[in-house]
Structure 1
Amino acid sequence: MNLKKAYLFVFLILLIDQVSKLYIKTNFYLNEQVKVFDWFRIYFVENEGMAWGAEIPGEYGKLFLTVFRIFAVGGISWWLNDSIKKGLSNYLTFAITLILAGAVGNIIDSVFYGVIFNDSSSQVATMFSNEPYGTWFHGEVVDMLYFPIIKDIPMPEWVPLIGGKPFTFFNAIFNIADVAISTGFGILIVFNKRCFKEA
């Protein structure tokens, strides 16, 4: 894969990611869901931008996360450029391309959405609102893909952490950017030997 193709692929993933997020943000209110199949729903949630909705506590936690991710994207971009220049494995460059696209997709939400949109909690958000819900670098990431394949399995009391509670598989709600990142890391793990073979 050459650099031009890699960045074209990044652009296409970003386009799909952002179009889907803009559609959800401007057509759904927070926590609204549409059942597509028993095992798939469009379910609009927002989070601080970490995996599984985790947050960094404190007044500057969100800002720290966003700035860190911007630096991380710079590092990933360098890795992609370096890998292509050195003619390393297409498996590796494709994986890095996916991770880069996903990271940039979620950074766009974090940097810009707080000043572009108003609040979604009791209404459908409006773009370029006069009453934005946040500030620069404090936007929340839009998630909408939910696959509760197996729902509400009663767990025995003796099971650590989830014992005595109903369990749903798969319980995460995510977006296209998350899919790209997860697929990229999956390629690095599953095809590790092909990714890092000697050139």
Structure 2
Amino acid sequence: MTSFFSRLSQGKVVVALIVLLLVIDQVIKIWVKTTMVLGQSHTITSWFQIYFIENPGMAFGIELGSKLFLSLFRIVVMGFCIYLLMRLVRRKEHTLGFLVCLSMIIAGGLGNILDSIFYGVIFSDSHGQIAQLFPAGGGYETWFHGWVVDMFYFPLIRGTFPSWLPFWGGESFVFFEPIFNFADACVSVGLVLLLSCYPRTVSILLDGKKKPTDETLDQSASTENE
């Protein structure tokens, strides 16, 4: 009975976390879409801006093939992650930290999937105007072809490369230049924590020659948490 409630508690925690992160992500994106014009920015500090862009690719603006392929690729990857999470919740105890990391990755992936699937249909275009939610004339794209909303910009360091540097000498640069969203941050933080805090558990799950048992995963999680 104790084991049952332990698994049930883990399931509630990860579901609540995924829903919470998804809600935060979508609230931020909808606020940006319905209050800002594409390319508009709000300077919060000298090193932090809310800068509205739309991204056709993956995290931090990386592109991968066609838009439809990218949307389907995201869905397949997130489907596998959800399956893995459900399997671990159903079979495991004492791995809540690992489940939380995996839940952050899933929430981030799902957040960007929602943009790709729905935003092209439910929003009007943001070029030169503030987008309308559920416009009478229809959206700016079709299903699965929506663009991901990005807004967090951290130009921490601005400078100029020295003139003697090959190729880039004399050119200006910005660090950190990528513009990202809350979902991207969830994926990145989740991955970093997963790989740094639970390397043995990750290696066991990724080892195709071994099927992880409850005992091996429990021992791995206990060792990593010590």
TM-score (norm 2): 0.80
- In the TM superposition, 1:164-183 aligns within 5 A as 164-183=170-189
Deviation at 1:181, TM superposition (A): 0.3
Query: Contact between 1:49 and 1:110, CA under 8 Å: does it hold in 2?
Result: no
Aligned residue number for residue 148 of structure 1 = 155
Q: Distance in 1 between matches of 2:195 and 2:146?
A: 31
User: Aligned in 2, Cα 1:159/1:184: closer, same or farther, shift over 3 Å?
Assistant: farther
Aligned residue number for residue 144 of structure 2 = 137
CA distances 1:52-81 after superposition (whole Å, capped 9, x unpaired): 323234xxx100110111111110001111
2:193 is aligned with 1:190: no
Q: Percent identity?
A: 43
Candidates 122, 125, 131, aligned match of 1:116: 122
Deviation at 1:123, TM superposition (A): 0.1
Aligned residue number for residue 64 of structure 1 = 69
Candidates 40, 54, 67, aligned match of 1:46: 54
Query: Contact between 2:201 and 2:217, CA under 8 Å: does it hold in 1?
Result: no
Q: Which has the higher helix share?
A: 2
- Compare relative contact order (CA 8 Å, sep 6+) and give the higher one, 1 or 2: 1
Give the RMSD, CA atoms, in angstroms: 1.9
Query: Contact between 2:10 and 2:96, CA under 8 Å: does it hold in 1?
Result: no
Deviation at 1:158, TM superposition (A): 6.0
User: Aligned in 2, Cα 1:8/1:162: closer, same or farther, shift over 3 Å?
Assistant: farther
Candidates 25, 30, 34, aligned match of 2:38: 30
Counterpart of 1:73, as a letter, is M
Q: Distance in 2 between matches of 1:161 and 1:81?
A: 50
Aligned residue number for residue 18 of structure 1 = 26
CA distances 1:1-45 after superposition (whole Å, capped 9, x unpaired): 611110110000000000000000000000000101101111000
2:87 is aligned with 1:82: yes
Aligned residue number for residue 213 of structure 2 = none
User: Aligned in 2, Cα 1:161/1:73: closer, same or farther, shift over 3 Å?
Assistant: farther
Specify the SS of the correspondent of 2:49: strand
Query: Contact between 1:46 and 1:141, CA under 8 Å: does it hold in 2?
Result: yes
Where in structure 2 are there 5+ consecutive unaligned residues? 1-8, 203-215, 219-226
CA distances 1:121-172 after superposition (whole Å, capped 9, x unpaired): 1100001111411100000000111111112x11135657755421211111
170-179 or 84-93, which moves further after superposition?
84-93
User: Aligned in 2, Cα 1:193/1:173: closer, same or farther, shift over 3 Å?
Assistant: same
User: Aligned in 2, Cα 1:156/1:88: closer, same or farther, shift over 3 Å?
Assistant: farther
User: Aligned in 2, Cα 1:80/1:28: closer, same or farther, shift over 3 Å?
Assistant: same
Q: Distance in 2 between matches of 1:108 and 1:159?
A: 43
Aligned residue number for residue 104 of structure 1 = 110
User: Aligned in 2, Cα 1:160/1:188: closer, same or farther, shift over 3 Å?
Assistant: farther
Number of matched pairs: 195
